[in-house]
C-alpha cells in the first residue's frame, strides 16, 4: 500500500470524474427517481450510500469473504473503510510507487505478485490475513485497525469513510436485511438451461462463500441453501449486484423479492423463505 498519497490523491479523483462516478457527492442520495440506472444504494437507518455497480460488486465481495471466514461484521467495516480510502472500491491497476488493486497493496512489501494483488479475492483475503494478526482488532477503532494493516502515511484518512463502511458492512454481511439494492439493466437473450445457470451460480459464489448448495426446483427456479439469516442476506445482496451477468431476473429471500430493472428495492412478497435464496 502507498506511503505517500499525493499521486494517488490526484489520479483517483480524476479517474472518478472522467468515469462519471459521483461517490462522495451522491453518498446521501435517496436512490429514487430518475438517474439511478447502474447504481446500487445501501440504506441503513438515516444513511444512504450510493455506489456504481462495479463498486458495489467489490464491496459485496469484501463483505462476503468476511462472512465466509467467520469474521465479525467489524472486520468487513475495517476492510471497506480501507478500500474506500485507498481505491474508492475500484480495482486500480496502478497507484503510488508499485501500489495496486482494491487496497493499494505493494508487491515489494510482500502482498503478492502484481497478478495476485489485482485478483480481488486474493487481495481481500490478504487484507484479512493481516487483520487477523492484529491483537484485539475486534474491538479496535476502525481507523486504528485499518492503519495497523495498511501502514498508510495518512492514518486518519480512514475515519472519513467509517460511516459509509459501517452501513455497507451491516447490509452486505446480512445484519441489516433488505438494505442493499441495485437498479440494473436486464440482460438480453434467452436464459440458459437451469442446470447451466446453477453451475454458473456455484462458480460465482465459490470465491466469496466457498462451496454452496444450489438446487434446481419446480419451474426451473434455483435455490441456494442459506445456513443463517445473515448469510442468506449476504448471498442475496452478492447476487443482486451480479444479476445481469448471470442472466437473473429476480432474487428472493425471507419473504422479499428484488427484480432486475426495477429501482424500487426489495418488495414484500414471493415464495422465498429464510432457508434459501431463490433466483430466477
32, pLDDT greater than 60:
no
Q: What is the DSSP letter of 187?
A: P
Q: What is the mean pLDDT of residues 91-118?
A: 94
User: How does residue 34 score in pLDDT terms, banded at 50, 70 and 90?
Assistant: low
Please give the backbone phi and psi of residue 113, each rounded to the nearest 5 degrees, phi first. -75, 160
Q: Do residues 101 and 211 both lie within one domain?
A: no
**Do 91 and 170 fall within a single domain?**
yes
The pLDDT of 113-120, averaged and rounded, is: 98
pLDDT at residue 211 in the model: 93
Does one domain contain both 160 and 190? no
> Are the C-beta atoms of 252 and 269 separated by less than 8 Å?
no
Reported as a pLDDT band with limits 50, 70 and 90, residue 23 is low
Residue 208 has what pLDDT? 96
| Percentage of the chain exceeding pLDDT 70 | 88
Q: What is the pLDDT of residue 12?
A: 36
pLDDT at 31 exceeding the cut of 70: no
- 43 versus 219: the higher-pLDDT residue is 43
What is the model's pLDDT at position 192? 86
On whether the pTM is more than 0.75, the answer is yes
> What is the Cα–Cα distance from 73 to 70, expressed in whole angstroms?
9
Query: Domain boundary residue among 176, 196, 213?
Result: 176
**In a domain? residue 189:** yes
Q: Give the end of a domain, one of 176, 203, 224.
A: 176
Task: Over range 249-254, report the average pLDDT.
Answer: 95
Shared-domain flag, residues 35 and 157: yes
pLDDT of amino acid 70: 96
Average pLDDT over residues 28-38: 60
- Within-domain flag for 251: yes
Is there a domain that residue 1 lies in? Answer: no
Contacts of 111 (CB under 8 A, 6+ apart): 1, 105, 117, 123, 126
For the chain, give the percent of residues with pLDDT over 90.
74
Same structural domain, 146 and 248: no
Q: Are residues 264 and 160 in the same domain?
A: no
Report CA-CA distances (Å) from 164 to 70, 77, 80, 82, 110.
Answer: 22, 9, 9, 11, 29
DSSP secondary structure letter of residue 270: S
Do residues 82 and 152 lie in contact, with contact meaning Cβ atoms separated by under 8 Å? no
The model's confidence at residue 29, banded by pLDDT at 50, 70 and 90, is: very low
Strand partners of residue 92: 101
| CA atoms of 126 and 103, how far apart (whole Å) | 10
* Residue pLDDT, tens place only, 129-184: 999 999 999 999 999 999 999 988 777 889 999 999 999 999 999 999 999 999 99
**Contact yes or no for 79/128 (Cβ under 8 A):** yes
How many other C-beta atoms lie within 10 A of the C-beta of residue 267?
16
Q: Quick one: average pLDDT of 223-231?
A: 95
107 pLDDT band, cuts 50/70/90, is very high
In this structure, are 149 and 127 located in the same domain?
Answer: yes
CB 92 within 8 A of CB 85: no
> What contacts 46, CB < 8 A, 6 or more positions away?
none
Look at the alpha carbons of 81, 1, 237, 211 in this order and tell me if their dihedral is positive or negative. Answer: negative
Boundaries of domain holding 209 = 185-279
Beta strands in the chain (DSSP E): 39-44, 47-52, 180-183, 214-216, 222-225, 250-253, 256-259, 267-268, 276-279
Q: What is the number of domains present in the chain? A: 2
Residues 6+ apart with CB under 8 A from 53: 38, 39, 40, 182, 184, 241
User: What pLDDT score was predicted for residue 191?
Assistant: 82
256 shares a domain with 158:
no
Site of grid cell 427484480: 259
Pair 75, 151 in one domain: yes
Query: Of 152, 176, 200, at which residue does a domain stop?
Result: 176
CATH number of 274's domain: 3.30.70
Residues 26 and 117 in one domain: yes
DSSP state of 104: T
Secondary structure tally for the chain: helices H, strands E: 10, 9
Together in a domain, 13 and 130: yes
Q: 79 and 144 share a domain?
A: yes
Amino acid at each position: 500500500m502507498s506511503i505517500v498519497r499525493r499521486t494517488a490523491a490526484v489520479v483517483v479523483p480524476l479517474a472518478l470524474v472522467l468515469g462519471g462516478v459521483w461517490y462522495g457527492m451522491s453518498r446521501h442520495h435517496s436512490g429514487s427517481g430518475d438517474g439511478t440506472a447502474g447504481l446500487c444504494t445501501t440504506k441503513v437507518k438515516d444513511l444512504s450510500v450510493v455506489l456504481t455497480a462495479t463498486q458495489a460488486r467489490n464491496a459485496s465481495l469484501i463483505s462476503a469473504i468476511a462472512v465466509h471466514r467467520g469474521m465479525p461484521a467489524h472486520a468487513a467495516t475495517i476492510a471497506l473503510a480501507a478500500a474506500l480510502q485507498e481505491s474508492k472500491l475500484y480495482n486500480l491497476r496502478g497507484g503510488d510507487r508499485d501500489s495496486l488493486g482494491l487496497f493499494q497493496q505493494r508487491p515489494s512489501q510482500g502482498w503478492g505478485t502484481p497478478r495476485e494483488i489485482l485478483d480481488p479475492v486474493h487481495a481481500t483475503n490478504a487484507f484479512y490475513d493481516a487483520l487477523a494478526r492484529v491483537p484485539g482488532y475486534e474491538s479496535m477503532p476502525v481507523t486504528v485497525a485499518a492503519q495497523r494493516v495498511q501502514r498508510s502515511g495518512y492514518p486518519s484518512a480512514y475515519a472519513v469513510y467509517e460511516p459509509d463502511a459501517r452501513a455497507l458492512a451491516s447490509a452486505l454481511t446480512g445484519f441489516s436485511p433488505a438494505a442493499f439494492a441495485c437498479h440494473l439493466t436486464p440482460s438480453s437473450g434467452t436464459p440458459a438451461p437451469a442446470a447451466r445457470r446453477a453451475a454458473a451460480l456455484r462458480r460465482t459464489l465459490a470465491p466469496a462463500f466457498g462451496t454452496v448448495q444450489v438446487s434446481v426446483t419446480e419451474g426451473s427456479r434455483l435455490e441456494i441453501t442459506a445456513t443463517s439469516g445473515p448469510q442468506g442476506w449476504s448471498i442475496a445482496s452478492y447476487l443482486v449486484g451480479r444479476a445481469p451477468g448471470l442472466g437473473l431476473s429476480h432474487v428472493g429471500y425471507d419473504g422479499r423479492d428484488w427484480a432486475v430493472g426495477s429501482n424500487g428495492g426489495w418488495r414484500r412478497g414471493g415464495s422465498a423463505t429464510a432457508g434459501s435464496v431463490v433466483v430466477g
